[in-house]
Amino acid sequence: MSITEQSAYDLVVVGTGAAGSAAALEAAQKGLKVLLLEKGRSTGGSSNYTEGLFAIDSYLQKEQGIKVSGTEVLKEEVEYSKYKADSRIWRKYIDTSAETVKWLEDQGVEYEGVQAMGDGEATWHIYKGMGDAVIHKALQPKSESLGVEVHTSTSAIEIKQDSNHAVSGIVIRNEATDEEQVVDTQAIVLATGGYLNNPEMMKNLTQYDTSRLVPVSSGKGTGDGLNMGWNIGAKHYGTGMAMLFGGYLRDPNEPPFKFIASQMNTAAGQQPLLWVNETGERFVDESVVYNFSYAGNAMYTQNKVYSILDQGVLDKMAADGNFMGLGVYVKRGQKMDKMQAEIDQAVADNKAFIFKADTITELAEKMNLPVETLTNTVKTYNSYAENGTDQDFGKDSEYLVPVNQGPYYAFELQTGAFCTMGGLQVNTKNEVLDDAGQKIDGLYAAGNDASGLAGDTYGPNMPGTCVGYAFYSGRNSSDNAAEYIKSTVKI
């Protein structure tokens, strides 16, 4: 019995996140016979959790009177990457981004509007129902209505090539039955979402100690696309980058996603308040949280990081709203009306990440930090708050809130991570390149499997660029695959 209905397809798309779903639909709209594979039991990958995509000059930005220069964005992004990003890829991505927003709308995607993040530009096109709705109410039903054959619990495991090294097929496996099958195809789009969830690859390809990261993702990004590409000679390129997003709580008894919309987690991990390290010292201007990736980098410089909050600042955030949010999960300025109950519950449950005490001395003892150092840190910080000047790191006085009203709370923070980006080098057609910079005929990479967008740190000041690139590069791959397939037809 075979896994698929046919033995041959024009195009096989591996992965059903934003990149794969967009690729499959685009290809079907171009008249290709498409097989779409998903190794998980459900479709959508990490893209299900996304809030919105990047674009410049979209109809929504025009309606809202938002004007952002594409060339300025390009310059900023390339500079931010220390010139590791590819200017040509950014140019094409930016120039087609408005059309991507419209194309998604034409497929049935609805938008809430466009917004900024931190002090960045208003480029984030927030969709209704998150990425889950984009994929399951728009892209996937449309694809299926055009005849795309979708298989879940089915992994791609190996790419086959002909004697000219062009793609000729793919080996797939039914994860429920272990049955394997070779499917003939002329083109493949690899859209498997990167390798954040592959500890071995994270260890070998990045500088990160995974014991300190909390991956908040689908859990299925195990680097399959990269390995399949590398196994047939694709260049190892642009690995090492994980999209960190600052402080996050870890509870070994709960799945990481539990805290994404938690007000306690946002209060503990995402505010520009007081942080100390394992010796009880401050180490950075905590308002670095305006850029969640920078915040992740800063935290990662220490062995341990704790945020210290007093009852005064908790009451202030409950009454007046937080200082910074976490995407649209907990919005910036939102009144933290559930936070105290969540904190009280965590204390009652003796959660390992939280400490509560009536004095700073007692807090330091409970945390096993040097009492004198922590007491001095808090004393000095309070003097800065009183004078309105952070003499150590120059934090804006708006965020210098004193820590002087018990009870006091400390939260042990880990660094959250959403995804990796990069691994396969692509050109502006999303064709995968080999070590000599030559394209591998018929092989395309999209979304987080493709390199070119970033250096070693994600740039959240231009929000939405990661999933925006996934939609764009998925479609771009299929457009070029369609051209390639046409070019191989013998007359």
Binding site for ligand FAD (CB under 6 A): 14-20, 37-40, 45-47, 49-53, 155-156, 191-193, 216-218, 220-221, 224, 418-419, 447-448, 464-468, 470
Least separation in angstroms between CB 448 and ligand FAD: 4
Least separation in angstroms between CB 242 and ligand FAD: 11
Residue 374 has phi, psi (to 5 degrees) of: -65, -40
Least separation in angstroms between CB 151 and ligand FAD: 9
The type of residue at 365 is: E
* Residue at token pair 């979402």: 193
258 CB neighbour count, 10 Å cutoff:
13
- Closest to ligand FAD by CB, 216 vs 374, is 216
Which residue, among 278, 268, 216, has the nearest Cα to 243 in the 3D structure? 216
Least separation in angstroms between CB 223 and ligand FAD: 8
Which residue, among 302, 311, 315, has the nearest Cα to 369 in the 3D structure? 302
- Closest to ligand FAD by CB, 189 vs 363, is 189
What region, left, alpha or beta, does residue 459 occupy, with left being phi > 0 and alpha being psi -120 to 50 degrees?
A: beta
Structure tokens at 65: 């009177």
Helical H segments across 146-206, by residue range: 199-205
- Closest to ligand FAD by CB, 45 vs 442, is 45
- Closest to ligand FAD by CB, 139 vs 156, is 156
Least separation in angstroms between CB 192 and ligand FAD: 4
- Closest to ligand FAD by CB, 385 vs 440, is 440
Least separation in angstroms between CB 102 and ligand FAD: 18
- Closest to ligand FAD by CB, 197 vs 271, is 197
Least separation in angstroms between CB 21 and ligand FAD: 7
476 CB neighbour count, 10 Å cutoff:
29
Rounded-to-integer distance, Cα 15 and Cα 190, Å? 7
Determine if the peptide bond prior to 407 is cis (ω within 30°).
yes
Structure tokens at 8: 């041959």
- Closest to ligand FAD by CB, 154 vs 302, is 154
Structure tokens at 114: 């466009």
Q: List Cα–Cα distances, 403 to 346, 409, 410, in angstroms.
A: 21, 10, 11
Given a contact cutoff of 8 angstroms between Cβ atoms, the answer to whether 432 and 424 are in contact is yes
- Closest to ligand FAD by CB, 45 vs 280, is 45
Least separation in angstroms between CB 466 and ligand FAD: 3
Structure tokens at 5: 């209905």
